[in-house]
Chain A
Amino acid sequence: MIGASRSVISSVGRRTIAKCSKPILSSSVRYLSTTLNNHNESKIRVKNQYIRSYSSSSTVPLTAETYADKVQRDERFKALDAEDIQYFKSILNDSIIENEDDLLFYNEDWMRKYRGQSKLLLKPKTTEQVSQILKYCNDKKLAVVPQGGNTGLVGGSIPVFDEIILSLSSINKIRSFDSVSGILKCDAGVILETADQYLADQGYIFPLDLGAKGSCHVGGVVATNAGGLRLLRYGSLHGSVLGLEAVLPDGTIYNSMDSLRKDNTGYDLKHLFIGSEGSIGVITGVSILCPARPQAFNVAFLGVSSYEAVQQVFNDARKELSEILSAFEFMDLNSQRLVGQYLKSDHPIESAEYPFYVLIETSGSNKDHDDEKLETFLGTAMENGLVEDGIIAQDETQLKNLWNWRENIPEASQMNGGVYKYDVSIPLKDLYGLVEAANERLEAAGIVDFEDASKPVVKAVGYGHIGDGNLHLNVAVRQYSKAVEKVLEPFVYEWVSSKKGSISAEHGLGFQKKNYISYSKSDIEIKLFKDIKKHYDPNGILNPYKYI
């Protein structure tokens, strides 16, 4: 296509991060990249994904040391020995990793905040192998951490001590797809983007989309009940997952993969596993209902002058765009400043800086119909002074670039050294109040400054799926430190609790929020949870030290 330009653009890995600031250059880079290989499985993650820069950061401290006051190794668990390793080798042959350096990647979380001390990683290729592994571990009382794409944001998918890591990466086939019903059945280790690409070729779409799509697994998003960017349109996984295949701690294989759209015969067990974060079973297969892929996508990126305006635009968008609205994200000015530094690029809205920005995505079956609806809505919003300035993407390249200003906020928050993330649900009118309160508290403690490198905190920024009432509070820091953590926790959780919100809207509890569940759930609920855990995992071998 842009033939002659190939000679001048140097080889760039498929959609590497941050090379997307200028529309035309990035489109030719993508051209080159799409003619190269289409692998999705490498550690260099594809499409809007996180590249770990091992060279730039120092070693991550061990979770066990950083949080020694909160957690100790449960001595009921057996320590791994040569006999155990022999047994695993007999089932898996060479699909294991024992080398300490190789294990480093799997022992650390994506945010480089936590590091475990596992001495063994297992990569089963079949569900039966998972069953054999768990049965053995349950008998011997060996602790196990199930791991998918390791993109979790609450330290839930990495060990704390010497738990064995059970990786689902090799269980990664798409089993079947029925193009009449739209039901996709696949292994848990299929990467989300791979599944979506497969569906795209059939004219369907995966009902979930999030920034980590190039690395996260289908099984992982189900285990964490991920929300993502399109929950507004396609609903939660509790609605779209039809059936699961999961291995219980004692090796029993629970299989409801053949479930149909409507089936009222007994307790709906799959809901227990959805969002269970690997605490009562290891998901090995997913059956999910996929909607038809919209033909026409539009993205509008708007600058507005106040949080009230954001809410008003949302109300109007819901009314006027109605069935074609597929995403509504908001972000504050500081988050955009960080992204600008990260992408080394000017903000798409050039006229001025605005306190808040909104990204609206519409998708539907008829481009003309959608264009007209969107333009009418935006015209009215501008005339009413609700929206100060904005951009509608003119082509696919601009569409992806505009999304980058939202999808890169997590990385940009982290680029100075680290980030404390709080993913909360709060009633809409109070939503941004948390960010303001956090910044005030950080100012009062004298530890925050956007430019001054001597202060540990850069800034607290807020953004998120306002359509779902979900705020992501990211406190961008130059280093992780107990002092900063003390200023933020339990302050944030208390603030959220006082507004009757959820301390974890979609990221889950994992390790980070293990002891804070009482901020959002009653004692009775917590007791019922523990009953379930005890029933399915009496030895507590699955993902200990986490969740509840």
Chain B
Amino acid sequence: MSSKLRILVPVKRVIDAAIKPRINKTQTGVETKGVKFSINPFCDIALEESIRIREGAKDLVEAIHAVSIGPTKAQDVLRVALAKGADTSTLIDVGEEEVEPLNVAKLLQKVVEKENSNLVILGKQAIDDDSNQTGQMLAGLLNWPQATNASKVEIEGDSVTVTREVDGGSDTLRAKLPLVITTDLRLNEPRYASLPNVMKAKKKPLEKLKASDFGIDIVKRLETLKVDEPPVRAAGIKVETVDELISKLKELKAI
């Protein structure tokens, strides 16, 4: 008995992947003023996957709902999601606060309940904090199975087969819905949002809510002490002869 999919795709607004971030003057974070923000690349892949699942089988997907937890400007990212194929969206406006993964997971749990989702596809990590925790914590809170770092997703009825990228190669899991999947780079290549769809997306629903609407109080458990640039790579040296090379390597205790 296959149930229809109600997919939830959380998307995050992050500093554009192609831009080199700079440390801010107080060394407590990165400079965000005047910097370009875009959708997190892994979230983009998650969104693309949900659309492909819908395109792959008629009537399998009942709804694709996009949600973003971030500042008011995260609306832009939601509009991109709607243009690409999400049906509806929610913005949980938390102002300029950085929200930790556990709080994100708690909020997402509430959204899953609200939207009655049975499949959550999200990026494996955000490129600003690189936490790689939200998907896993969400699965724990919901008590759902999780398949992380997905490079392939196949759905057959209630059963989902996910191929995962692991250090040694790949790992294939099978689980029953409901399920949390986090996406890795090789899962797919996101499409461009076409202009006609961008125009149409303006009419799609984007509801604006706050964390308090879900009864969640965002409490920070971590304090960032300092943010530093990685050490500058020291210049190499050129050697003239093989003998010199060997003696230098010995000096460095490399051989």
Contacts and interface: CB of A to CB of B under 8 A. Distances in A.
B195 interface: yes
Contact of B194 (A31, A34, A351, A398): A351
B194 A390 contact: yes
A382 B199 contact: yes
Contact of A395 (B38, B130, B165, B185): B38
A200 to B, nearest CB: 10
Nearest to B130: A3
Given A24-B44, A394-B39, 14 more contacts: A1-B127, A4-B184, A24-B45, A25-B189, A27-B41, A34-B20, A349-B192, A350-B191, A391-B192, A392-B193, A392-B198, A397-B16, A397-B18, A400-B18
Contact of B196 (A1, A4, A296, A389): A389
A22 B36 CA distance: 21
14 contacts: A2-B17, A3-B130, A24-B44, A25-B185, A27-B18, A31-B17, A300-B195, A349-B194, A367-B36, A390-B194, A395-B38, A396-B18, A396-B19, A396-B38
A453 B186 CA distance: 36
A265 interface: no
B193 A24 contact: no
Nearest to A348: B192
Contacts of B34: 295
Interface residues of B, number: 34
Contact of B190 (A1, A23, A30, A296): A23
B80 interface: yes
A382 B195 contact: yes
A498 interface: no
Contact of A2 (B41, B44, B195, B196): B41
A378 interface: yes
B30 to A, nearest CB: 11
A116 B44 CA distance: 51
B195 A390 contact: yes
Nearest to B20: A34
A394 B48 CA distance: 14
A28 interface: yes
B194 A24 contact: no
Contact of B195 (A3, A4, A391, A398): A391
Nearest to B73: A368
A378 B196 CA distance: 10
Given A394-B38, A395-B38, A396-B17, A5 B195 contact: no
A29 to B, nearest CB: 11
Interface residues of A, number: 40
B195 A389 contact: yes
SS of B interface (majority): loop
A379 interface: yes
B45 to A, nearest CB: 6
A348 B198 CA distance: 15
B40 to A, nearest CB: 10
Nearest to B192: A391
- Closest 10 A/B residue pairs (Cβ): A395-B38, A396-B18, A390-B195, A22-B189, A391-B192, A1-B127, A396-B16, A27-B17, A5-B185, A397-B18
Contacts of A34: 20
A8 B190 contact: no
A302 interface: yes
A533 B45 CA distance: 61
Interface in A294-348: 295-296, 300, 302, 348
A7 B185 CA distance: 12
A79 to B, nearest CB: 37
B105 to A, nearest CB: 20
Contacts of A349: 192, 194
A1 B130 CA distance: 7
B192 A398 contact: yes
Interface string A1-33: 111110110000000000000111101101100
B194 A389 contact: yes
Nearest to A30: B18
Contacts of B17: 1-2, 27, 31, 395-397
Contacts of B186: 8
Nearest to B18: A396
Contact of B185 (A24, A302, A367, A375): A24
